Chains A and B, each alone.
Chain A
Amino acid sequence: MLSIGDLHAYIGQSHILQGVSFATRPGQVTVILGRNGVGKTSTLKSVIGLMDHTGVIELDGRRISGLETHEIIRLGLAYVPEDRDVFHGLTVAENLRLAERRGLTPDYDRVFELFPELRDRRGQRAGTMSGGQQQMLSLARALLHDNRLMLIDEPTKGLAPRLVSEFVATLEQITAHTSVLLVEQNLAVARRLADHVVVLSEGRVVRDGPAQDVLADDSTIRRLLGVAADREES
């Protein structure tokens, strides 16, 4: 699956990723945990070429670092960004049409089965929808086609608690069929979805292993995640 070796990246003068290495496994959900600013989003952006980096990133043995973003995505990756990044001036239907890939048949039935609300809002401008609806659309774009690996960045961020549980239920359906690399700060969400956990701290991998082992070490996890542990308790 995805293999990341000695990944380094900078934002300005800040050395954000300082030799990150880990691998995902086919059919599993790998969750990257860590406090704000430790490099979780930078890792995902590096994988799809949206951030300059050094190191080796391979997908099923093929080196993808150095490829253009669209070339990497066309290898069978899908990216759901942290801030949804739906196109506000376009309608729901146009946002989805943009995600269609040449030569592949988009699976609108699956998308509308998971998110029936989007079917009714096809003509609505994405910018006029709520945060939860935009998150649905962002996920729906990624689900139009089968993917080898989905990269999902904090899908529950900013959602109301009621919506979080709905979203996690939807994510459980999605992850049953697709390999996922998920960035998440909410420890409760990570516990429900993760097969494998990678914990980042200050740009380095500090824990990497099966979810039940890594998450069982409660005191270490709470120390490494800080705020996230508090969120779980609340």
Chain B
Amino acid sequence: MSTFLLITISGLGLGSLYFVLAAGLSVIFGLMRVLSFAHGAFLSASGFASWIVLRSFETPSTPRLLLALAVSVLTGGVVALLAEVLLIRPLKGKELEQLLATVGLGMVLVALMAGIWGPDEHLIPRPDWLTSTTSIAGAPISNSRLLLIGLAAVVLVGIQLILARTRYGLVIRAGVENSAMVSALGINVKRTFTVVFVAGGMLAGLGGGLAGTYYGGISPFLGDGMLIFSFIVLIIGGLGSINGALIASVVLGVSQSMANYYVLNGIGDVLVVGLLVATLLVRPQGLLGQKERLV
């Protein structure tokens, strides 16, 4: 029983990581119709920012970890801001060109990081409590998984509150349906596009900081691997649906961990692809696509 609980919570931690990245991608696609392939690189860049902060101290501590997470969030936001202003905005309305631009940007950033810090993984110093475990119903649960799950829950609640309670949220929900009509009501949608893209970058940044705590290290290619699974989450959950992304993240993370442990290590990735194919065949719009978006 304790092993089952351990694997389940570990899977929830992995799903939380997928969700943090997928949530930003989902809102960006819903509003801007931009499928950003650069967000994986944003995640890696932010992870490196976090690594630089943590290795600058002799011993890691909780305040230093929080500082590193803040820096990684900020890094994700700044990189996304530059990408939106310099690449996405000039290609407004050209969805294919925007997609290709994000692919190119992602490749350039990964190559840049590999050139500067090398292709290998760099270990991230972590406070002792983060590498320890907490016993839950007899199962020794890694604190890094609990941190991930907790922060993903905060992200989920934060997004839902922003969408439901703020004017920006109202504009985003309306813009997902018809951004031209939002402009025709006198609202500067371009600014909302920028805010949403930057927010998505900040979530990727948070993912970068957290991925370091989950995997214990950071490499230029970490984000691209995460991005593939986050896109699968988006497709299974339904493009543009936050709740769909949440459900798909949990399903993917848990089933991946279960399959890896109970069947064969590595088979989890195959299972995820199987779930993707099954979704596309049975329900191409995803679990909550179209009918329930961003609510």
Interface residues of A, count at CB 8 A: 21
CB–CB A97/B183 < 8 A: no
CB–CB B186/A70 < 8 A: yes
CB–CB B180/A50 < 8 A: yes
CB–CB A85/B178 < 8 A: yes
Is B162's beta carbon under 8 Å from chain A?
no
Mask of B180-202 contacts with A, CB within 8 angstroms, 1/0? 11111111111000000000000
Is A89's beta carbon under 8 Å from chain B?
yes
Nearest residue, chain A, Cβ from B188: A70
With A68-B190, A94-B170, A98-B170 as known contacts, state yes or no: A89 contacts B184, CB within 8 Å: no
Taking CB atoms, residues of chain A closer than 8 Å to B128 are none
Is A23's beta carbon under 8 Å from chain B?
no
Is A10's beta carbon under 8 Å from chain B?
no
CB–CB B173/A90 < 8 A: yes
Mask of A55-77 contacts with B, CB within 8 angstroms, 1/0? 00000000000001110011000
With A87-B178, A89-B295 as known contacts, state yes or no: A98 contacts B183, CB within 8 Å: no
Q: 8 Å CB contacts to A: which residues of B149-186?
A: 167, 170-171, 173-174, 176-178, 180-186
Taking CB atoms, residues of chain A closer than 8 Å to B188 are 68, 70
Mask of A71-96 contacts with B, CB within 8 angstroms, 1/0? 00110000101000101111000110
Taking CB atoms, residues of chain A closer than 8 Å to B190 are 68
CB–CB A88/B177 < 8 A: yes
- In the bound assembly, the distance between CA atoms of A69 and B187 in angstroms comes to 8
- In the bound assembly, the distance between CA atoms of A88 and B180 in angstroms comes to 15
The prevalent SS among residues of B at the interface is helix
Is B293's beta carbon under 8 Å from chain A?
yes
- In the bound assembly, the distance between CA atoms of A85 and B182 in angstroms comes to 10
CB–CB B184/A98 < 8 A: no
Minimum C-beta distance from B125 to chain A (A): 46
Nearest residue, chain B, Cβ from A145: B186
CB–CB B182/A68 < 8 A: no
Minimum C-beta distance from A147 to chain B (A): 11
Is A207's beta carbon under 8 Å from chain B?
no
CB–CB A81/B173 < 8 A: no
- In the bound assembly, the distance between CA atoms of A97 and B183 in angstroms comes to 14
Nearest residue, chain A, Cβ from B171: A98
Taking CB atoms, residues of chain A closer than 8 Å to B293 are 89
CB–CB A87/B183 < 8 A: no
Taking CB atoms, residues of chain B closer than 8 Å to A89 are 173, 176-177, 293-295
With A69-B180, A85-B181 as known contacts, state yes or no: A101 contacts B170, CB within 8 Å: no
With A68-B188, A68-B190, A89-B293 as known contacts, state yes or no: A98 contacts B177, CB within 8 Å: no
With A87-B174, A90-B170, A90-B173 as known contacts, state yes or no: A98 contacts B295, CB within 8 Å: no
- In the bound assembly, the distance between CA atoms of A101 and B188 in angstroms comes to 11
CB–CB B174/A90 < 8 A: yes
Taking CB atoms, residues of chain A closer than 8 Å to B182 are 98
Taking CB atoms, residues of chain B closer than 8 Å to A68 are 183, 188, 190
Q: 8 Å CB contacts to A: which residues of B273-295?
A: 293-295
- In the bound assembly, the distance between CA atoms of A79 and B178 in angstroms comes to 14
Taking CB atoms, residues of chain A closer than 8 Å to B174 are 87, 90, 94-95, 98
Nearest residue, chain A, Cβ from B174: A87
Q: Which of B167, B183, B188, B294 has the most CB of A within 10 A?
A: B183
Is A168's beta carbon under 8 Å from chain B?
no
Is A99's beta carbon under 8 Å from chain B?
yes
Is A48's beta carbon under 8 Å from chain B?
yes
Taking CB atoms, residues of chain A closer than 8 Å to B177 are 87-90
Interface residues of A (CB under 8 A from B): 48, 50, 68-70, 73-74, 79, 81, 85, 87-90, 94-95, 97-99, 101, 141
In the complex, given contacts A89-B293, A98-B171, what are 10 additional A-B residue pairs having Cβ atoms less than 8 angstroms apart?
A50-B180, A50-B183, A69-B184, A70-B183, A73-B183, A73-B184, A89-B173, A89-B176, A90-B173, A95-B174
Can you list 18 A-B contacts with CB-CB less than 8 angstroms, sorted by A residue number?
A48-B184, A68-B183, A68-B188, A68-B190, A69-B184, A70-B183, A70-B189, A81-B184, A85-B181, A87-B177, A87-B178, A89-B173, A89-B177, A90-B170, A90-B177, A95-B174, A98-B174, A99-B186
